[in-house]
Amino acid sequence: MTGPEYEVVIVGAGPAGISAACVVAETGRDALLIDDNPSPGGQIWREQERHGSNWEAAHWLRRLQLYRVEVLRGATVIDGDPDKHAIVCETANSVSTIRYKKLILATGSRELFLPFPGWTLPNVMGAGGLQALVKAGMPISGKRVVIAGSGPLLLAVGAYLKKQGAHVLAIAEQASWARLARFGLGLPTQPYKLAEAVQLKRALFRVPYHAGAWVEAALGETVLERVRLSLSHRRWEAPCDYLAVGFGLVPNIELAATLGCKLSAGCVQVDPMQQTSASDILSAGETTGIGGVELSLMEGRIAGYSAIGDRLNAQWLFSDRERMRRFARRMQKAFALREELRHLPLEGTLVCRCEDVSYQRIAPMPGWRAAKLHTRCGMGPCQGRVCGPAAEFLFGWHCQSTRAPVFPARIDSLIGHKEE
C-alpha cells in the first residue's frame, strides 16, 4: 500500500536519527522516524525507556516526545527509489511505500566479527550482543565471562555485566599498551571522555585488563567450556560460561548503497552539510564513520538543519563536529587491528556461518565475487554482513555487493511492493 508523504523521513532511531528528528520537528515541520526496534534509542540506548539509566538518552527521548515526532516502530526499510523520493517499509503485518522530500539515513553500525577456532560455539557472541541480551532480561548473575577484542566498547560491556552480577574473568584488548598510553595522553583535552574513562575504571575495579592480548580459541564439544587467550607471548586458558568478542564496529551502509549514495572507505560519503551524492538524501552518525555517541548526535543535528534549509545553524556546529572527528580518528588509530588476527582461523574454521564455508575453501579465491560464485559465501540470511567485513580484513577484498531487498523480506511484501 502507498503511505503518506513527509517533509523529512529519518531512517534509524539511534542518537543521530533522534537528534535529526528533534531538530526538524522543533520547527513545526512534519518528520517521520523509522526504526526496526520496538522503541527508539538504537543499540546504544537500548531499553532506556524501561530502565532510564542514561541521562543523555533520557534528555533526547524526552525531546522526541515533547516535539511529538511520529515514530514508526518495528519497521524495516527493504528498498527504495531515489528518483521517486520513496522508500519501502515492511512491518510485522504490512508493507508500505513512504514518500519524502528529504531523507536522512542514520542506520548506525554493527559489530565486526573475526573468525577464530570455536567462534561458532554456543555462548560465544558479540560483546554488544551479549549486553543487549542481558538488557532484554537474560540472567547473567554468577556467570563467568571473558571479554575480548578491541575498543572502548569492551570496557562498557564489562562494567555493565559486572553491575548485573557477572564474574568478569578478564578483558583482553588487542591494542598494545604503548598505543593505549598515547591515546590516553589525549584524554585530558576531552573532559567528558576522561570522566567516562575514570568511571569505567572504577566500575571494573579488580577485573584483570590485558593489553596486547587476544582470543586464540574457544574450546568445547557442543557448547563453550573454556577460552584460550594470547597474553604477552604466553597463553592463558580458563573455564568460562560466556565469551563476548568484538573487534570494533562496521557502518551499516547497505541502504545508502542501494539508494545510489557514493561510498568511501566503507562509509557513506557526505559533504559538510551531511548531504550524500544522491539528491535530497543526507546521512549522519556511524554510517559516515565510526565516532561515538557525541559525534553521532552532532552529525544528526547538522543533517536536521540541512534538511530544512537552515545552513546558518548547521554551520555553527561545524567546529564542534571537527573536534569530535579528530578524536574519532585518534581512537581508530589507537585501536587499529593487529596483523596477528589475520592468522587466527585454521583450515576448518568457518568464515561464512550461514552457508558453512570454511577458511580452507575461501582462502584460495581471487576475490569476493569468486568466493560467492564458487562457495556461496555471503549468500545466506545475513547477506554478507558478518562474513563480508571479515573477508575484507582477512584477504583485503572489496566485499560490497548490495541489492534489494536490503534485508530478508516476506514474499507477500515483495509482491505488494512490485504491484504498486
Q: Which residue has the cell 502507498?
A: 2
Q: What is the pLDDT of residue 123?
A: 97
Within 8 A by CB and 6+ apart from 192, the residues are 294
The domains found in the chain, sorted by start residue, are: 2-110+250-331 (3.50.50.60), 115-246 (3.50.50.60), 344-420 (no CATH)
Q: What is the pLDDT of residue 415?
A: 74
Residue 221 half-sphere exposure toward CB, CA atoms < 13 A: 0
pTM, two decimals, is: 0.92
As a whole number of angstroms, the distance between CA 44 and CA 298 comes to 16
> Could you give the angle at which helices 318-334 and 293-307 cross, rounded to 10 degrees?
140
Per-residue pLDDT tens, the chain, 420 aa: give them: 566 789 999 999 999 999 999 999 998 899 999 999 888 877 777 665 555 557 788 888 888 888 888 999 999 999 999 999 999 999 888 898 999 999 999 999 999 999 999 999 999 999 999 998 998 889 999 999 999 999 999 999 999 999 999 999 999 999 999 999 998 887 777 777 777 878 888 899 899 999 999 999 999 999 999 999 999 778 999 999 999 999 999 999 999 999 999 999 899 999 999 999 999 999 999 999 999 899 999 999 999 999 999 999 999 999 999 999 999 999 999 999 999 999 999 999 999 999 999 999 999 999 999 999 999 998 888 888 999 999 999 999 988 777 778 888 788 877 766 655
Q: Which of 215, 226, 218, 235 is nearest to 338 (CA)?
A: 215
Specify whether the CB–CB gap between 268 and 283 falls below 8 A: yes
> Could you give the angle at which helices 387-395 and 368-375 cross, rounded to 10 degrees?
130
Q: What is the pLDDT of residue 417?
A: 64
